[in-house]
Structure formats: structure tokens, C-alpha cells
Amino acid sequence: MNLKGRDFLTLKDFSSEEINYLVDLGLDLKTKLKSGIPTPLLSGKSLGMIFQKSSTRTRVSFEVGMYQLGGQALFLSSHDLQIDRGEPIEDTARVLSRFLDGILIRTYSHKMVEDLAKYSDVPVINGLTDDFHPTQVIADLITIKEHKGTNKGLKFAYVGDGNNMVHSLMIGGAKVGMNVAIASPEGYLPNAEVVAYAKEQAALNGVSITITQDPFEAVADADVVYTDTWASMGQEAEKEIRAKIFAPYQINQKLLDAAKKDAIVMHCLPAYRGYEITNEVIEGAQSVVFDEAENRMHAHKAILAAIL
């Protein structure tokens, strides 16, 4: 499948077949790495990585992944660029395009990513914005397929804040044929337009998107139980009030018992144990959280290999 030259901004831009292709490519690259088979698919190519939001997994996995593919990665913090000093994003895009084969950006505004892609002559990858986190979902789908043998027909339950992670999970889940159930409190539900789009995609694939305020309803008979931090970057001031509002949405053993006995537990990290998930669950036999974290690198390698 030829995805060369494509931007990777949201999963809206990719078909079910293309998403499944990236999942399978990630699994293949993982198998080759574990078998000691080199994959210098991007020899001589360079990736510029702009980080206006801090990162552990995104930065390390993209950087190491690029090296493993035979290319090189250049880390650029906001202090290393002129964006924060007022240089227009279109100028930054045009200049970096002359030096690099691809640009990764992790930032707040999704519009900034769209503008960067508009004026860039090389592929742009969204490493996270306030609205979407599509690269994480490829890792999540790899992890689910690895543990369940498929993504199609499963029930996927997310409990917590209706944030950027939920938006991308709904779209990705719908497109690969999963039934997705989201439980969030009033006032913290996912964006209505994204929900409507995900429901359209789900209908095309014969599955459903359910939005509820009841975590037990969402988790009932689920194959996958997923959560995320209750206070994302930029929301630290709201942490205490969010902790009270989201307390009934904690992934604990009682809630997990409502899922299938062989359900897997996922969290995109960083996790705040004792808040959105208990230590017992994240360290328990059903947790695949650290397999999921490892698969970030294999997912990112798949995206890089496919589009650069």
C-alpha cells in the first residue's frame, strides 16, 4: 500500500484498510526487530521533531525508531525554534521542508499542525494536540491485535475524560470494526462533532459508538478497558477538582470485574496511580500497559516507514 508523502494528522484521513495496514506493518517491524533482522527502510532520511509539549514516550520512540530504520532524528524544543518569538508557522514549515524529509510536531493547537502541514513540502506527523492523538491509537490497535488476535468485533471501553485520546480512539476503533463505549461525566464528554463522525464510520463497519455517564455500562462485557489521566498537560490547575468529579470513573478491580474475565487493561501513560487507575490493576495480570508503551515505537516506525 502506497502512503508515501501523506501527512499523518488525524485518523479521519485514513481508510480502514490503511489503518489495518499500519497495524500489520508495525507488528511485522516488531517481529523483525525481535529476530535481529535489520530494516534500514529510511537510510539517509531525516526527521525533525518539534516539541512544544514535553514527552517521554513520543520523543524516545520516534527518535529510536528513526535510528532503527536507518535514518536520523533531530529534536527541536520550542526554545530551539523561532516560533515562540513570533515567526509565522508557514515560514517555519517552508524552511524545515528544505532540510528534512519529515516533520513531527507535538503541540497544543491542532490548527498549528494543520497550518504546518499546509505549508510544508514534506509529510507532517501529529505527535499530539489538544484535539487528537492518532499515533498513540496505532500503538493501541497493535497491542489489542497482539493480545486478542484481532481488532474486529471486540468491545472497547474507555472510562474517563473525553479528551484528545478519546477522539482518536473512537475514530480508530470505528474504522477497524470495534464497538466502542465511552463513559465520561457530564461536562467532560467528548466533542459532539467527533462523536458524530465516529458514529458514521461505525455504522459503515457494522459496529456502534456508545456515549454514557455510567462507567459500569461502558465496561460491561468489554474485551478492552482503557483509561487516561484525568488532567492532561495544561490542566494541572484543575487537578483537585477533576479528582473529585472523576472519582467514580477510576479503573479499579470492582469496575474491571464488570468486563470479560479475559479483558485487557490499557493506559496511554503517564499514569497517576490511585487516581484514574489503581496500583492493583495496573500491576495486575490483565494489564498490558507496558506492552502498549513498547508498541509506541513499533507503531511510529510503521508510520514513518509508510509515509517518508
> Is 268 marked active-site?
yes
Q: 59, 106, 110, 267: which is the annotated catalytic residue? A: 106
Q: Check if 201 is active-site.
A: no
The answer to whether 133 is a known catalytic residue is yes
- HSE-CB at 153 with a 13 A cutoff on CA atoms is 3
From 36-45, 48-57, 214-223, 260-269, the region with the lowest mean pLDDT: 48-57
Q: Are 161 and 131 in contact (CB under 8 A)?
A: no
- Which domains are present in the chain? 11-133+296-307 (3.40.50.1370), 136-293 (3.40.50.1370)
Which is nearest to 142 in space by CA: 307, 16, 263, 298? 298
What pLDDT is attached to residue 22? 98
Catalytic residue among 130, 268, 286, 298: 268
Residue 238's pLDDT is: 83
Residue 231 has pLDDT above 70, yes or no: yes
Chain segment 16-32, per-residue pLDDT in tens: 999 999 999 999 999 99
Evaluate if residue 293 carries a pLDDT over 90.
yes
pTM for the model stands at 0.96
The catalytic position among 110, 167, 242, 296 is: 296
Cα 231 to Cα 229: distance, rounded to the nearest angstrom: 6
Supply the pLDDT for residue 85.
65
* Per-residue confidence band for 161, with pLDDT thresholds at 50, 70 and 90: very high
Which residue among 68, 167, 228, 242 is the active-site one?
Answer: 228
Check 133, 167, 267, 300 and give the catalytic one.
133
- In the residue annotation, 106 being an active-site residue is answered as yes
The active-site residue out of 136, 201, 250, 286 is 136
pLDDT at 233: 66
136 part of the active site: yes
